[in-house]
């Protein structure tokens, strides 16, 4: 996940007022629903109302839509949803909270098109107040993901009071005793892809490989990416490429490899096969 920006109808004004009251009452990290602008977005999708749907995407600046790593315009999202011709949509809210002046809204949806085809979709929406209306300024959509997408982001992967240096030292001792390596996962609790990756490393096919070969240490970069900056430098983590970012070190803490091109930043789009190759490549050599 990258580190991340008129004529008023009676209906739009009502949505704006409800959303403003909602946001004002939230605390950071809150998870509450419904969020009125999203409900309006969903209603436009189900009604097949292209005009109403299009008006919910920012024009200035243009909304950015990311699908499988490609940056597209808002038409890529509106056209996708309208083409499904949905009449019902089962939605699970993963995150619904203020973040950096925006509302970060992530949902999972299971949809069935008129021809009976079922799709699983995760959409990460960023909403911003623009004058009298909330609009989408960015969207990342994941269609039929290969990896499980978390139902929520409540797992405390990166405790605020954790001492990363102490945890690395403890992991080094365990790695030396167990003939393992360190798997250092730089990220933060606010990072959706960090939660996706954590779920993946507990899959039945990947979990045993991780447990046998690695001591995993989660290193918190904090809300602004500045926490544990010395470890970021030591393990050559390019935070400008996003998180989660991974490094592998030996049992003495010496860096073996760090991923330099944001290979794990979009974890929601990865496959089990990709992760299997990575873990197999960097696990310790067999002693047999």
Give me the sheet containing 70-72, strands edge to edge: 70-72, 64-67, 133-143, 118-130, 102-112, 90-99
101 touches 92 (CB < 8 A): no
pLDDT at 18: 36
Of the two residues 41 and 97, the one the predictor is more confident about is 41
Q: How many CB atoms sit inside 10 A of residue 88's CB? A: 8
Flag whether pLDDT at 29 surpasses 60: no
pLDDT at 87: 87
If phi > 0 it is left, if psi is from -120 to 50 it is alpha, else beta; for residue 16 that is alpha
Mean pLDDT, range 52-70, rounded to an integer: 95
**In terms of Cα–Cα distance, which of 148, 186, 157 is closest to 262?**
186
Mean pLDDT, range 113-139, rounded to an integer: 92
Q: Are strands 64-67 and 70-72 parallel, antiparallel or unpaired?
A: antiparallel
286 pLDDT tier (thresholds 50, 70, 90):
confident
CATH assignment of 10-143, among 1.10.1070.20, 3.40.50.10540, 3.10.450.50, 3.40.50.170: 3.10.450.50
Whole-angstrom CA distances from 186 to 183, 189, 263 are 10, 11, 13
Flag whether pLDDT at 20 surpasses 80: no
Tens of pLDDT, residues 63-99: 999 999 899 999 999 999 999 999 889 999 999 998 7
Q: Domain 164-282: give its CATH code.
A: 3.40.30.10
Flag whether pLDDT at 137 surpasses 50: yes
Q: How far apart are CA 89 and CA 43, in angstroms?
A: 10
pLDDT at 2: 72
3 pLDDT tier (thresholds 50, 70, 90):
low
Q: How far apart are CA 16 and CA 39, in angstroms?
A: 12
Task: Report the percentage of the chain scoring pLDDT > 90.
Answer: 80
> What one-character-per-residue DSSP string does 191-249 give?
-HHHHHHHHHTTSTTTHHHHHHHEEEEEEE--TTS-TTHHHHHHTT--GGG-SSEEEEE
Tens of pLDDT, residues 204-258: 999 999 999 999 999 999 999 999 999 999 999 999 999 999 999 999 999 999 9
Listed by start position, the domains of the chain span 10-143, 164-282
Q: What is the DSSP letter of 72?
A: E
> What one-character-per-residue DSSP string does 254-280 give?
-EEEE--S-TTTTGGG--HHHHHHHHH
**In terms of Cα–Cα distance, which of 157, 138, 167 is closest to 231?**
167
Flag whether pLDDT at 197 surpasses 60: yes
- The rounded mean pLDDT for the chain is 89
186 touches 237 (CB < 8 A): yes
pLDDT at 17: 36
Flag whether pLDDT at 179 surpasses 90: yes
């Amino acid at each position: 996940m990258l580190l991340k920006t008129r004529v008023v109808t009676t209906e739009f004004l009502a949505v704006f007022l409800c959303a403003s009251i909602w946001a004002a009452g939230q605390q950071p990290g809150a998870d509450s629903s419904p969020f009125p602008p999203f409900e309006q977005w969903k209603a436009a999708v189900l009604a097949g109302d292209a005009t109403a749907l299009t008006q919910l995407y920012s024009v200035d600046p243009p909304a950015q839509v990311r699908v499988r790593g490609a940056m597209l315009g808002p038409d890529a999202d509106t056209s996708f949803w309208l083409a499904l011709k949905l009449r019902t949509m089962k939605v699970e809210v993963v995150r619904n909270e203020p973040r950096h002046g925006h509302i970060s809204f992530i949902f999972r949806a299971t949809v069935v098109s008129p021809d009976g085809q079922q799709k699983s979709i995760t959409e990460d929406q960023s909403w911003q107040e623009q004058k009298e209306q909330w609009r989408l300024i960015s969207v990342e959509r994941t269609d039929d993901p290969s990896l499980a997408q978390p139902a929520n982001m409540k797992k405390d992967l990166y405790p605020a009071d954790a001492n990363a240096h102490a945890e690395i030292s403890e992991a080094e001792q365990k790695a030396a005793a167990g003939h393992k390596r360190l798997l250092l996962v730089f990220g933060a609790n606010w990072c959706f892809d960090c939660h996706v990756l954590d779920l993946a490393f507990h899959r039945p096919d990947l979990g045993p490989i991780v447990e046998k070969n690695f001591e995993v240490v989660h290193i918190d970069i904090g809300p602004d990416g500045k926490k544990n900056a010395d470890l970021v430098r030591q393990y050559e983590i390019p935070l400008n490429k996003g998180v989660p970012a991974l490094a592998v070190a030996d049992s003495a803490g010496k860096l073996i490899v760090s991923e330099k091109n944001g290979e794990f930043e979009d974890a929601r789009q990865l496959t089990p096969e990709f992760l299997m190759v990575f873990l197999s490549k960097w696990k310790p050599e067999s002693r047999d």
